[in-house]
Amino acid sequence: MEIRIGVQNTTREVVLESQQSAGDVTAAVSAALEGGTVLSLKDEKGRTVLVPAASIGFVEIGVEESRRVGFGTL
């Protein structure tokens, strides 16, 4: 699922693909905002993305979709 994070005072967004569920991401964002800590998310390659909660402008959580395997038809 794609996650887009808008960072205040920055023109670019942080975009990552993650295998975390939408519920897990929502809980992590809520906890970081409530506690004033750092939002920590893992991408599909195992890298960790850290964003200070005070700098978060918005978080957009994409829809969860299962991966398709196979070839398209012509």
Three-class DSSP labels, 10-57: CCCEEEEECCCCHHHHHHHHHHHHHHCCEEEEECCCCCEEEEEHHHEE
CATH classification of the domain holding 42: 2.30.30
User: What tens digit of pLDDT does each residue of 51-67 get?
Assistant: 999 999 999 999 876 66
In-domain check, residue 12: yes
Structural domain range at position 10: 2-61
Query: Looking at residue 34, what is its pLDDT?
Result: 96
Query: Looking at residue 64, what is its pLDDT?
Result: 72
| Domains contained in the chain, number | 1
In-domain check, residue 23: yes
User: What tens digit of pLDDT does each residue of 5-42 get?
Assistant: 999 999 999 999 999 999 999 999 999 999 999 999 99
In-domain check, residue 38: yes
In-domain check, residue 72: no
In-domain check, residue 74: no
